[in-house]
């Protein structure tokens, strides 16, 4: 009797005592695993279906009430929402359509319109039935994958002209088990090809893939009731917006999984993304940020401690991955990740990061003074980098008159730059993910006399306005604010206020668009993070979804289709409320066209910009690939072309710095590893974008001499009420 046949016999014997999914959809569906497998795994294991608890049912009822009556989005629980929950839940459990068949999905057609009423009353069994089926199908798929590997990867055909779809999130469900077998054979071939192209031998590849699938299989057998409940509740809450979510009691301890502000780790915020754990953002001043290689939207494949073998974490729970990444200060953790710009999921890179704590001073604002020579005129441009909006709340509450904060530090830096004779100022908010709201409010106050800075609209439509009530101004000269896609939340409030007041120009790329406010509310079992308010600019437009649109745009390598509020499912839309009275310090309409023309003229001849454009085009080509070849020779040629392009771009950048080019991609990667170990990586885009910000400041001075003096109390045009 084969392994599969023994498993069928055991399950048939045990089925009479089981409840839930097996009674709901029948024993035949439970036994949908194909016969004849010979995977070398523990054949005594049987998946035990998980069941909801009374505490979970009570928490479900509380969550449903909170969503209906306190969420910013006014939405009831009805049949239409029930269908949305069903689709969101399947996306959460099988987002790439690789486990379930169309027949499996059709089994639940009857409950599709009934989930809403069940969720209102804490009837969790339908959600658990779906979860148990998916877990069973995951086990079957992994068993099939191991059976393929047992036959040896040398039996796979890499000569056929086959392809595999890169992203299956919009694919149709496969018709039956045979179709899934074909798909998974292609997935295995794809994984083997990627490792062969990375010059691994077949024995190492087989060992690596077996470890991966066996690890996932072990976790599938270890599924817990809490896993099902958290998955189901997060599918439910996501219908309101992507920032509303349920935290299990354990996940509540790791709220936002910010591993560096209070615990030793790498300084990254993580979230679950189908089978993967994804990097959401890096904490400024943290080990990962300083190391320089890890990027937002990278997905973690494996984690290794020091010199130990890596542990594959595909399919792991988020809290388990976090536990692996955390560790004692000065120890090294190595992450294997799929880069955000990878053309497919088999392309990975390895990043070693030394764990540490993030110190407040490493997140502090800092300054530079750059010199620009322009047609015989010299300009000194001050630059202030603000990585986050911070405040030492403990020192503040203790009454320390010298407590650190963004606003206090920037005020001091401005004075130091003025003492050094700066002619204009650039505030760099790129990659600033936000922070303390009151600091964004106070920072705006350094550049205006007084007035409103942001409006906050609550779920009951009540609008609250935050104001700068300090009439003192730290700096009233020409100003540019640099932003990119990772500038979010408090950064967007500051940039939007500077733009609305006509106090300066925003330069760079469209910001993230995070314009909502969440509160964490305790439940009898875990916590609910729920969106309760929304930010609006003083001009009335929300920062939600649209973010801040720059006055002068500079393209970025960051993929806007994967990073940003408008890339998230069911994000709250942009809208507008009444503007509040505010001052316009300067009307840029008379000079903005000339400013843009000068900027475009400079960039047309800028080797740094041309190189950036080339790199963006290359990355876009990789992102737009819908499928990859499974033919070895074809794939090898594509791989070599990608490597040649990477090397060409890296060498072009080195030549701009007057450095010797690399003779191979291996030399480039070795250099990158050395730079990372020294925490001495250089981002050339930041350097030339800062210089361009300085040139735009100089253009502002040249085109309107009312901006020349920074020593007079007021050098802008007379204030006029905002329209």
**Catalytic residue set:** 489, 500, 514
Token pair for 411: 């005020």
Q: Write out the two tokens for 543.
A: 């920062």
Task: Compute the distance between CA of residue 258 and CA of residue 280 in angstroms, rounded to an integer.
Answer: 10
| 302: exposed, middle or buried (Cβ count in 10 Å: 0-12, 13-18, 19+) | buried
Q: How far is CA 601 from the centre of its chain?
A: 34
Pairing of strands 516-522, 552-553: unpaired
- DSSP run (H or E) holding 20: none
CA–CA separation, 462 and 337 (whole Å): 44
- Cα torsion at 566, 572, 573, 578 (round to 10°)? -130
Strand spans (E) along 127-236:
163-165
Q: What are the Cα distances from residue 642, in Å, to 574, 648, 684?
A: 38, 10, 21
Tell me how far apart the alpha carbons of residues 597 and 696 are, in angstroms, rounded to a whole number. 11
CB 327 within 8 Å of CB 260: no
Token code pair at residue 144: 């099939």
Task: Indicate the helix (H) or strand (E) that contains 295.
Answer: none
> To which H or E segment does residue 599 belong?
helix 592-604
Closest CA to 198 of 96, 301, 294: 301
DSSP string computed for 464-521:
EEEEE-----S--S-EEEEE-TT--THHHHHHHHHHHTTSSEEEES------EEEEEE
Residue given tokens 């999905």 in the structure block: 105
Is residue 434 within 8 A of residue 454, CB to CB? The reply is: no
In our burial notation (b when 16+ CB lie closer than 10 A, e otherwise), range 464-483 reads: eebebeeeebbbbbbbbbbb
Give residues with Cβ within 8 angstroms of 710, minimum separation 6.
418, 422, 423, 424, 475, 476, 477
The full length of the chain comes to 723
Q: What is the DSSP letter of 7?
A: H
In 3-state terms, the chain is what percent helix, strand and coil (to 5)? Answer: 45, 15, 40
Q: What are phi and psi of 708, to 5 degrees?
A: -65, -50
**Residue that is written with structure tokens 């039956």 in the block:** 176
How far apart are the C-alpha atoms of 431 and 134, rounded to whole Å?
38
Strand, helix or coil for residue 717: coil
Q: Which of 426, 473, 418 minimizes the C-alpha distance to 445? A: 473
């Amino acid at each position: 009797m084969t392994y599969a046949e023994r498993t069928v016999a055991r399950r048939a014997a045990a089925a009479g005592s089981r409840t839930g999914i097996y009674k709901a959809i029948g024993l035949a569906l439970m036994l949908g695993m194909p016969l004849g497998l010979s995977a070398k795994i523990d054949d005594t294991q049987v998946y035990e279906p998980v069941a909801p608890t009374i505490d979970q049912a009570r928490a479900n009822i509380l969550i449903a009430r909170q969503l209906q009556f306190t969420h910013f989005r006014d939405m009831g629980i009805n049949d239409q929402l029930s269908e949305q929950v069903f689709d969101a839940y399947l996306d959460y459990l099988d987002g790439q359509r690789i486990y379930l068949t169309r027949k499996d999905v059709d089994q639940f057609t009857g409950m599709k319109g009934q989930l809403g009423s069940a969720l209102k009353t804490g009837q969790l069994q339908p959600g658990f039935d779906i979860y148990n089926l998916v877990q069973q199908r995951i086990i079957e798929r992994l068993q099939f994958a191991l059976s393929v590997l047992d036959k040896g990867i040398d039996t796979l055909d890499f000569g056929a002209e086959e392809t595999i779809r890169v992203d299956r999130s919009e694919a149709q469900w496969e018709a039956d088990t045979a179709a899934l077998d074909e798909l998974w054979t292609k997935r295995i071939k794809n994984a083997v090809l990627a490792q062969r192209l990375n010059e691994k031998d077949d024995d190492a590849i087989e060992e690596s893939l077996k470890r991966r699938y066996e690890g996932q299989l072990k976790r599938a057998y270890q599924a817990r009731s809490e896993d099902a409940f958290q998955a189901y509740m997060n599918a439910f809450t996501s219908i309101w917006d992507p920032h509303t979510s349920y935290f299990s009691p354990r996940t509540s301890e790791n709220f936002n999984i910010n591993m560096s502000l209070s615990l030793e780790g790498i300084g990254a915020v993580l979230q679950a993304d189908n089978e993967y754990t994804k990097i959401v953002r890096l904490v400024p001043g943290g080990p990962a940020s300083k190391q320089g290689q890890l990027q937002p939207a990278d997905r973690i494949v494996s984690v290794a401690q020091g010199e130990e073998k890596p542990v594959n974490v595909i399919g792991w729970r988020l809290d388990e991955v976090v536990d692996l990444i955390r560790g004692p200060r000065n120890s090294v953790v190595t992450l294997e990740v799929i880069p955000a710009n990878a053309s497919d999921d088999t392309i990975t890179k390895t990043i070693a990061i030394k764990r540490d704590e993030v110190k407040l001073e490493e997140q502090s604002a800092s300054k530079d003074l750059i010199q620009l020579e322009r047609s015989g005129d010299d300009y000194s441009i001050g630059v202030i980098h603000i990585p986050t909006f911070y405040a030492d709340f403990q020192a503040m509450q203790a009454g320390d008159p010298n407590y650190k904060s963004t606003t206090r530090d920037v005020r001091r830096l401005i004075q130091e730059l003025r003492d050094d004779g700066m002619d204009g100022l650039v505030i760099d908010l790129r990659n600033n993910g936000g922070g303390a709201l009151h600091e964004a409010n106070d920072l705006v106050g350094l550049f205006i006399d007084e007035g409103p800075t942001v409006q906050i609209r609550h779920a009951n439509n009540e609008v609250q306005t935050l104001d700068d009530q300090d009439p003192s101004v730290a700096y009233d000269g020409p100003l540019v604010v640099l932003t990119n896609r990772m500038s979010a939340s408090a950064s967007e409030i500051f940039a939007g206020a500077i733009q609305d007041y006509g106090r300066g120009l925003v330069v760079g790329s469209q910001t993230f668009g995070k314009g909502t406010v969440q509160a964490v509310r305790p439940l009898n079992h875990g916590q609910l993070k729920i969106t309760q308010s929304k930010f609006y600019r003083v001009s009335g437009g929300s920062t939600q979804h649209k973010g801040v649109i720059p006055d002068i745009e500079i393209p970025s390598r960051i993929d806007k289709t994967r990073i940003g509020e408008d890339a998230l499912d069911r994000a709250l839309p942009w809208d507008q409320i009444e503007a509040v009275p505010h001052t316009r310090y300067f009307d840029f309409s008379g000079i903005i066209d000339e400013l843009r023309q000068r900027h475009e003229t400079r960039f047309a001849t800028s080797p740094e910009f041309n190189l950036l454009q080339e790199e963006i085009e290359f990355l876009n080509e990789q992102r737009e690939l819908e499928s990859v070849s499974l033919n070895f020779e074809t794939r090898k040629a594509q791989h070599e072309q990608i490597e040649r392009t990477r090397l060409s771009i890296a060498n072009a950048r080195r030549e701009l710095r007057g450095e010797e080019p690399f003779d191979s991609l291996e030399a480039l990667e070795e250099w990158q590893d050395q730079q990372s170990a020294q925490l001495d990586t250089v981002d050339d885009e930041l350097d030339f974008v800062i210089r361009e910000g300085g040139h735009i400041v100089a253009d502002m001075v040249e085109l309107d001499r009312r901006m020349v003096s920074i020593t007079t109390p007021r050098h802008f045009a007379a204030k006029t009420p905002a329209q």
